[in-house]
Amino acid sequence: MTQAVVTAGSDEVEPGAIIEHGHDTNTGISNSKLAIWLFLSSEALFFGAFISTYFLYRGRDAQFLKGPTPDKLLNIPFTSVTSFVLLMSSLTMVLALAAIQRGDHTRLRIWLLATCLFGATFVGGQVYEFTEFYRKGLHLGTNMFGTTFFVLTGLHGAHVTIGIIWLLLLWGRSMQGRLPTEKSEAIEIAGLYWHFVDVVWIFIFTAIYLIPTH
């Protein structure tokens, strides 16, 4: 059997292949990673539907601004801080992956917990914001802004919450010594999900908070 290096995306072949580890797949790349990328691709369509709905109704529907209006409700400085927190959680997530890949399990656990803490802070901020809006009279059915805002940001918040639970489970596995360096892909996959949730927020933050509604 000839040994060679195969470049994914090209047919470049070099002699002297190095097999590092792993199980066999049809593609030569991890099935789990393939699955998470496919899932994230479908999530792009999922969130795209809600972001599009928000823009579709925005400014084109008389009911959109009936009742409390976004310019009176949205607290940009506050949401900027929570956005910053979510961005920082992406950094700690990728640092957790770097830690397990070099076999530093203590730092892995620290960065995982930091990511969970940042994520929980973001969700806490969202809960506070929702409560404030509710007190000011914006409900799910008040107007189309309320409907599209609560559904879009609520679904995103649910994704962040799922991510926190996922990371806490991985942290627990690591604490029990059931997450060795060879299984770093488990962290990589959770990280891909987490970064995707961050990426979605980048667009939600711009669409709802930063682009003027008038």
By CB under 8 A, what part of segment 130-159 binds other proteins?
A: 143-144, 147
Nearest distance from C-beta of residue 172 to other proteins, angstroms: 24
Q: Closer to other proteins at the Cβ: 49 or 172?
A: 49
Quick one: DSSP state of residue 182? G
Choices 84-92, 121-129, 130-138, 168-176; region in contact with other proteins by CB under 8 A: 84-92
| CA pair distance 174, 172, nearest whole angstrom | 5
Q: Nearest Cα to 172, choosing from 118, 130, 113, 131?
A: 113
- Taking CB under 8 A as the criterion, the residue among 65, 73, 91, 113 binding other proteins is 91
Residue the block writes with tokens 């926190």 = 164
**Residue-wise over 155-166: b if at least 16 C-beta within 10 A, else e?**
ebbebbbebbeb
If residue 41 lies in a helix (H) or strand (E), which one and from where to where? helix 31-57
Q: Closer to other proteins at the Cβ: 73 or 94?
A: 94
Nearest distance from C-beta of residue 186 to other proteins, angstroms: 13
Nearest distance from C-beta of residue 126 to other proteins, angstroms: 17
- Taking CB under 8 A as the criterion, the residue among 65, 94, 113, 117 binding other proteins is 94
- Taking CB under 8 A as the criterion, the residue among 22, 103, 137, 172 binding other proteins is 22
Does 203 engage in binding with other proteins (CB under 8 A)?
Answer: yes
Does 61 engage in binding with other proteins (CB under 8 A)?
Answer: yes
| CA pair distance 7, 13, nearest whole angstrom | 7
Torsion angle of the four alpha carbons 201, 98, 192, 126, in this order, in degrees rounded to the nearest 10:
-30
Q: Closer to other proteins at the Cβ: 172 or 206?
A: 206
Does 41 engage in binding with other proteins (CB under 8 A)?
Answer: yes
If residue 208 lies in a helix (H) or strand (E), which one and from where to where? none
> Are 171 and 112 a contacting pair, CB within 8 Å?
yes
Choices 73-81, 115-123, 153-161, 173-181; region in contact with other proteins by CB under 8 A: 73-81
Number of residues that bind other proteins (CB under 8 A): 83
| CA pair distance 7, 85, nearest whole angstrom | 37
